[in-house]
Chains A and B, each alone.
Chain A
């Protein structure tokens, strides 16, 4: 704030001096010039009257010639005074306005407002650096979960766009260089409410700088980084970055899973899906020959994953030198039919358009489908804004780096048990996944499932603790009962239970809960509200447990006891 006042004062120096001088000269002139009073005697204006006269003159109010009508000499001087004071005022006010619209002044102003807003946050928040597709989606998702964020991006247009978005929580945003330690401090890295730093800029070196700066400034902070090369990944991991997310590797692993077990892939996709997305449908990619267009970072990752699964791939790449493509690669962009023919597209089963140009990717897919209608199509969508055309192209799988990154981070931050569940789920077979998919689909409508974690503790589940304390069992089945109708169950599936020394995958309805347990559920959006009611309200839980509506007041309870004893 000091900066702002100093800047204001320094810039107003000259205009103020001019105003003072104009007033001084005008007043002095009015005092020195002789006049005549109403009796015709010589009279001179004193300083008091001169100041009064010039004050209303300069502000263009103009009460007239006070206290006596002026002589011609006085009128001459009044004209001089009018022009000097009015121009001096206009100059001063104009300088003030131009200062307010000065970019430097506005930058300092927005910086000051930003730091003040960050200092004012009194609840846990995450610092998000970088606002392209991934950051934008992430901020929206976290805001939807009522998790506060603070945002830094170096592009003014993105920051302005975020300010225009209608978010349910206030997100302070600053246009600045996130790799600068002073910026990170201003954005609250040292704040005791800051829970973590998420570096999502499109440059690996910048993400690396953000990660190391945050780790140095505040070592216990959780740091999540986006990285697109293995080199910087290793570097980030070396100083303890908690989570490093490579969108290409993440997608390649997911895609390999999709080939191996489409049901398991569906479980993954559903549980980590963002809330407003349409429900992904079951799709099984063929295991025959795949054509991969583009052997960049994405192409390399997916080729590695596919060959690990024992699937034959044909590569198409235009720049062999730069990408260090292996022998046997077909030279070309893949957008022309001739290259695709060369890759034997007519006998292939799937095509992956993985270049870094969205128009080329779409062109590859459309050309390829024209040559072979039965192709399974996978397209890489680099920019979130191209969503409409990619949807119109009806691809089987769309790989969008921003969405992949934000999904993973949202899952990490909002449902920590999900990672453990998915780790265990991977070890299960395809038939297990099929059963799970059919169970989950049974409780869903056309939206992806919501997943949530409950913990049996005093904060979240006081009613359950009370019930357990009285020696009664509380089972998962009771939690899944609709507290409004005992015969109905809530549209949700218990996925995973974690205790200090034990973990249970897909716990059954008769599983008895203990204090300290944490359970991961997934189900229809809104089901968790009723579950929270059961956990908090002893009467609701008792009703579910015994089937009796317990009288809640002392009087009715006393009457009920008398009635029972009779």
Chain B
């Protein structure tokens, strides 16, 4: 058992599940989307990215790319949240909530691709 692989798979899957939890619910309803969940999804996604640093294999590079995409999407969602609530002080109106959730939806897609690649790699090596 490779401990590095365990940690990495853990963080990749955790990023996906947390993100999924945040994404779930009515698109424009702030009550359905928990801010803690978004925070946790961002932190876990960042850790998953850093864990792929320095992996010279081709698959490692693709995983780094997909998790970077997830990071960017989540950071964009967090920025939209922060700017609208504290910068513009418009509050969480349904259109804004919808754009935050759809950004996290994009990150969710990137997370899914990461997990698919992870599973493919695992199946290929059968170790």
Contact = CB atoms under 8 A, between A and B. Distances in A.
B14 to A, nearest CB: 13
- Of B35, B46, B51, B53, the most chain A CB neighbours within 10 A belong to B53
Contact of A48 (B46, B56, B82): B82
B97 to A, nearest CB: 15
A7 interface: yes
Interface residues of B, number: 16
Interface string A1-26: 00000111111110011001101100
B53 A21 contact: no
B50 A20 contact: yes
Contact of A6 (B39, B43, B56, B82): B56
B22 to A, nearest CB: 13
Nearest to A23: B43
Given A27-B39, A48-B86, A17 B56 contact: no
A8 B56 CA distance: 12
Nearest to A27: B39
Contact of A16 (B39, B43, B53): B53
A46 B21 CA distance: 20
Interface string B66-106: 00000000000010001001100000000000000000000
Interface string B9-41: 000000000000000000000000001100100
B54 A7 contact: yes
Nearest to B53: A9
B54 A24 contact: no
A301 interface: no
A13 B39 contact: no
Contact of B54 (A9, A17, A27): A9
A28 interface: yes
Contact of A10 (B43, B54, B85): B54
Contacts of A7: 54
A485 to B, nearest CB: 71
Nearest to B87: A48
Contacts of B82: 47-48
B81 to A, nearest CB: 8
Interface residues of A, number: 20
B47 interface: yes
30 contacts: A6-B54, A6-B56, A10-B53, A10-B54, A10-B55, A11-B54, A12-B50, A12-B53, A13-B50, A13-B53, A13-B54, A16-B53, A17-B47, A17-B50, A20-B46, A20-B47, A20-B50, A21-B47, A24-B43, A27-B39, A28-B39, A31-B36, A31-B39, A46-B85, A47-B35, A47-B39, A47-B78, A47-B82, A48-B85, A48-B86
Interface of B: 35-36, 39, 43, 46-47, 50-51, 53-56, 78, 82, 85-86
Given A13-B54, A47-B39, 11 more contacts: A9-B53, A10-B54, A12-B53, A20-B43, A23-B43, A24-B39, A28-B39, A31-B39, A47-B78, A48-B82, A48-B85
